[in-house]
Amino acid sequence: MPFTTGELNSIANSALDYYFNKGDAFKLSIQKKPLLKWLEGGKKTFPGGKGNISIGVIGTYGAGGVNDGVAGFSHNDKVVFYTPANNLRLNFPWREHHIGITLTHTELKIDGISVMSTNGDNLRKHSRREMTVLIGLLESKLFDMGERYATTMNNLAWGDGTGDAKALAGIQFLISEDPSQGVVGGLDRATYAFMRNRARTAAFGAKVTADPTLAAHGGDAVTSSTADGGALLTTLDTEYRQLIRYGGKPTKFLAGSDFIGAMEKEMRANGLYSQNGFSSGGDVSMGALNYKGTVIEYDPTLDTLGLSKRAYWLDGRAISLQAMENEWRRSHSPERAPDEFVMYRSLTCTGQLVAQQFDSSLVIDIK
């Protein structure tokens, strides 16, 4: 028996909800996307309201050296006071995102399904064959939509905010290869040093050469070498101390293929094998790399972006995806136009990628 319009809509909506909310939406993705999976897995929510996600920060303390330090006194000496006035706010505008697919009545007819022009009343039990045919058709559509959602949202998450002015700004915007410049959350990094992330890149190295005071925030890209314990490994040791200096806790390490290859070469050359390195019949492969308990994870997108020699070491407590409450991966079923026999299904996501501390995250390149 044919489906009614209401029945077809109900099944389509249920399939869409199931696909995007079953917990492993990236199972069908062609290429792994660990950054997007990490961000969405740890996303936080905020209520609707004004157009900004506002975060209070304090980057400096005191009153510029005026009456803001401990000083000795005795007897009836007059003492002095100061008024703290260092509260600032980061304001990140939330953004709306959409992706949608269409399903024509003609496609359904080809698949052996008729759509009845009724309001869906008097629902009837479906046969197993009809259900299988419909889900098969939707699965093909949803597979494509799921991959396009994951790919394009992942690209935004890795971006610098210039690709789409109406979409969220990504990791390369927050954790910049040149943290000496740029306005983030309304605060200029050239003015507020605490807004600068750690950077070991050629772009920042050139800035440090011109202005040595910037060396407090990083320097040039690293020339990987196996000598003296490994140049890259030694630099990571140095950087880790700086990343935790102000209470940071870097927990996510994403790297391109060449960066990981350089680390493996330095580790092999310096004898950093585990006691099980040659077990199981002479298996000489190297297992997953770790640093301070953080797995160094390969992110293929960095290779796609031409950044195979780059890595990002991110503080998961300071960087987060902020999603408007009940508005991330929200499914929609727009009404069809009266003169078109087309069904529409779409997803919308409202939110922004934000950070509240920057000096606890690092971008690092190798030469």
State pLDDT tens for residues 89-113.
999 999 999 999 887 777 766 665 5
Can you give the CATH number for the domain in which 314 is found?
3.90.1690
Structural domain of 92: 3-55+85-365
16-60 pLDDT tens trace: 665 555 544 444 447 889 999 999 999 999 998 778 999 999 988
DSSP 203-243: HHHHHHHH-GGGGGGEESPB---SGGG-HHHHHHHHHHHHH
* Exposed / middle / buried, residue 201 (Cβ in 10 Å: 0-12, 13-18, 19+): buried
Answer yes or no: is 70 within a domain: no
Count of domains in the chain?
1
pLDDT value, residue 119: 28
Mean pLDDT of all residues belonging to the chain: 84
Q: How confident is the model at residue 367 (pLDDT cuts 50, 70, 90)?
A: very high
Q: What is the pTM of this model?
A: 0.84
pLDDT value, residue 107: 72
pLDDT value, residue 337: 77
Three-class secondary structure of residue 350 per DSSP = strand
- Which amino acid is located at 341 in the chain? F
Answer yes or no: is 68 within a domain: no
Answer yes or no: is 78 within a domain: no
197-218 pLDDT tens trace: 999 999 999 999 999 999 999 9
> CA-to-CA distance for 115 and 4, rounded, in angstroms?
6
Answer yes or no: is 73 within a domain: no
